[in-house]
Amino acid sequence: MYEHPKIAAHLQRRQFIREALSGTLIVALGGGLYALSDDLTREARAAERKDGRPRLPPGQRVLSALRPMGGAEGDPRRSQFRLRVHGEVERPFEVDFRELLALPQTSQTCDVHCVTGWSVLDAQFNGVQVRALAEKAKVKREARHVVFEAAHGYTANVRLAEALAPNVLVTHALGAEPLRRTHGGPVRALVPDLYFWKSAKWLTGIRFVAKDEPGYWETRGYHNHADPWKEERYA
């Protein structure tokens, strides 16, 4: 029987979540094995964040390493990288990779959560805070949202206040290594307190807008906000 591709993909995501919740699951993707750990999952569920929320959002299991999630890859060459900061700003600007590295750098350890049901704890990222770029561009009062722009026209929308949180980065390194192409390198967004699709890979622009502009996945059935602790997976 014919099954619409979008419905099939949705059912596959649901099946992944069901399997993840039923016990330890070994995922073979992107040339590697990614083990869901029951022990780490139990520990994370028992822990609390500083804001009082459980460390692990509902419906999530802990994965051993960041998993490549596919997508149309961008150009991995640092020499070709350009990031535009524009929109509702007084001083739009553009930086290349060398100029990005010359800006104040931030190193942070955080957890990330994928809508398909896996989480990675204590991932180490290096990069530039989005709020530092916003300050450089002098964002106008009219701005209410941020649109992360990426290769091949991909976009992801985030509320301005959340995009300017101190843990939101334009990141170029994972651990001690440059960000791999499969993870969005040379540069991706990092919005750790929202589902990971908001952390747009192969980043090309940060656009400040007055009106919300739902992005690629948001216009295809995903939730517009994407809070993992409220399980805002699908619209």
Domain coordinates in residue numbering, the chain: 5-230
Residue 3 has a CB neighbour count (10 Å cut-off) of 9
Residue 227 clears pLDDT 90, i.e. is over it:
yes
Kindly state the tokens that stand for 110: 């955080």
Q: According to the model, what pLDDT value does residue 70 have?
A: 85
Contacts (Cβ under 8 Å, ≥6 apart) of 57: 113, 119, 228, 229, 231
Kindly state the tokens that stand for 216: 């690629």
Contacts (Cβ under 8 Å, ≥6 apart) of 181: 73, 74, 76
In this prediction the pTM is 0.85
Q: According to the model, what pLDDT value does residue 68 have?
A: 86
Q: What is the 3-state secondary structure (H, E, C) of the chain?
A: CCCCHHHHHHHHHHHHHHHHHHCCCEEEECCEEEEEEHHHHHHHHHCECCCCCECCCCCCEEECCCCCCCCCCCCCCHHHCEEEEEECECCCEEEEHHHHHHCCCEEEEEEEECCCCEEEEEEEEEEEEHHHHHHHHCECCCCCEEEEEEHHHCEEEEEHHHHCCCCCEEEEEECCEECCHHHCCCCEEECCCCCHHHCCCCEEEEEEECCCCCCCCHHHCECCCCCHHHCCCEC
Sign of CA dihedral 108, 149, 193, 212: positive
CATH superfamily of 5-230: Oxidoreductase, molybdopterin-binding domain (3.90.420.10)
In angstroms, rounded to a whole number, what is the distance separating the alpha carbons of residues 203 and 186? 8
* pLDDT, tens digit (0-9, with 9 covering 90-100), for 90-114: 999 999 999 999 999 999 999 999 9
* pLDDT, tens digit (0-9, with 9 covering 90-100), for 23-81: 445 544 444 455 677 889 999 999 999 999 999 999 999 998 898 888 899 999 999 99
Q: According to the model, what pLDDT value does residue 39 have?
A: 87
Do the Cβ atoms of 95 and 82 come closer than 8 Å? yes
> What does the mean pLDDT of the chain come to?
89
Q: According to the model, what pLDDT value does residue 34 have?
A: 59
In angstroms, rounded to a whole number, what is the distance separating the alpha carbons of residues 129 and 163? 9
Band (187; pLDDT cuts 50, 70, 90): very high
